[in-house]
Amino acid sequence: MTGIGATHIDHIVISSNNSEVVAETFRRNLGIEIRRTMSRPGTGARLAFAKLGDVILEFAGPPEPDPAAEVKARLWGMVLAVADIAAAVERLRGLGYDVTDPRPAVQPGALIATVKSGTGGVPFALIQYNAIPHESPAGAAP
């Protein structure tokens, strides 16, 4: 998709009803290291991150998984890195895709937009790093 300025696959999202169990299964079976866990601001979703080669694996699940439920996971989709998210969103909308407005991502300074339709069943999102200027801590010299 060079027409939107995509440079690479940034990360793959695996959605489940228990992200901790799924991340641990991948860690154990693939020998990957879970490098970060967190709760998503606003939703409380539990996230875990690992790196496989150059691609980040993101394991996403609900804030409070049901420990009695059978664990089920699915490939949610992929996130493509772009150089200019506003231009990419405008281009995709011009092609008839339903795309959300860019919003702050979990990653500091990044913006993300989700492609909601027209993907042939392959969900994906766009991310631009360094899109939001970092604020200097109070009292820091300019």
SS3 content of the chain, % helix, strand, coil (to 5): 20, 40, 45
> What is the spatial distance between Cα 67 and Cα 79, in angstroms, rounded to a whole number?
29
Tokens 């009292």 — which residue?
Answer: 139
Buried b (16+ CB within 10 A) or exposed e, 126-141: bbbbebeeeeeeeeee
- For residue 136, pLDDT beyond 80: no
**Residue 10, CB-side half-sphere exposure with 13 Å CA sphere:** 18
Tokens of 105: 């991502």
- 118 Cβ contact list (under 8 Å, min separation 6): 95, 96, 97, 98
Note the pLDDT tens digit of each residue in 69-120.
Answer: 999 999 999 999 999 999 999 999 999 999 999 999 988 899 999 998 888 8
What is the reported pLDDT for 117?
85
Tokens of 80: 């493509």
- For residue 139, pLDDT beyond 60: no
**pTM confidence score:** 0.80
Cα torsion at 29, 70, 117, 41 (round to 10°)?
Answer: -80
Domains and CATH numbers, the chain: 2-128 (3.10.180.10)
